Amino acid sequence: MQALLANDLDLNAIEPRLGAKYSPNLHAYLALERNRNHCRFARVYRDPDGVLWIGFPDDYFFVGARLSSVLVNGSKTQVFAHMRLVHTLVEVEGFWATYVRDGRCAIDVDHTRGFIGDDTRWAVTDERRTCNWCGNATQTMTRWTEAVEKTAWVAEPLPLAA
Ligand SMILES: [Zn+2]
């Protein structure tokens, strides 16, 4: 068995009242008394399909949940022991330090996803926007026009009467 290392996460540092960049649901999940092992040991891992998981290895199992499920369901998230996953997950190194710094941008590094509370994420000026959460992403509004091919059945003109 892999020895569990404390994750050094300070739950007080990711309280939602400290900033909208912190997920209220992730905080609620980790603050649950029955999840105290997760608060102490959980790390974030990526599976071969790119899906993020939060939890810890325990003997032959990975004990945890999909991170996306925690973000949606918070304290109602079901924790499972996943046997198949345990050997395929790769830890996202330094996740908690990045999360403390950047909030949910640590989960959406590419800035392509939507979150609850997204209206606080972007400072918009004209055609540009800058991320308020991590302060490290700028996007430009791009406009384009697409030609759309359409088809329909139409009546043929009647032959002209002579
Ligand atoms: Zn950001």
Query: What are the pLDDT digits (tens) for 37-75?
Result: 899 999 999 999 999 999 998 878 999 999 999 999 999
Residues 6+ apart with CB under 8 A from 89: 45, 46, 47, 53, 57, 62
Mean pLDDT of all residues belonging to the chain? 92
Name the residues around ion ligand 1, CB cutoff 5 A.
105, 131, 133-134, 137
**pLDDT tens-digit series, residues 136-148:** 999 999 999 999 9
Beta-carbon contacts of residue 25 (< 8 Å; ≥ 6 apart) = 70, 71, 72, 73, 74, 75
Distance from the alpha carbon of residue 150 to the mean position of ligand 1, in angstroms: 40
In sign, the C-alpha dihedral spanning 57, 8, 23, 120 is: negative
Ligand 1 center from residue 120 Cα (angstroms): 11
The pLDDT of residue 1 is 43
Place 2 in a pLDDT band, splitting at 50, 70 and 90: low
The residue ranking higher by pLDDT, 5 or 11, is 11
CA–centroid distance, 134 to ligand 1, in Å, is: 4
Separation CA 56–CA 63 (nearest Å): 5
Specify the pLDDT at position 87. Answer: 85
* pLDDT for the residue numbered 92: 96
Per-residue pLDDT tens digits for 71-118: 999 999 999 998 888 889 999 999 999 999 999 999 999 999 988 878
CB neighbour list of residue 55: distance below 8 Å, 6 or more residues apart: 38, 42, 43, 45, 62, 63, 64, 65, 79
By residue count, the chain amounts to 162
Ligand 1 center from residue 95 Cα (angstroms):
15
Pairing of strands 122-125, 128-131: antiparallel
Q: How far is the CA of 21 from the centre of ligand 1 (A)?
A: 9
pLDDT of residue 60: 87
How far is the C-alpha of 2 from the C-alpha of 72, rounded, in Å?
30
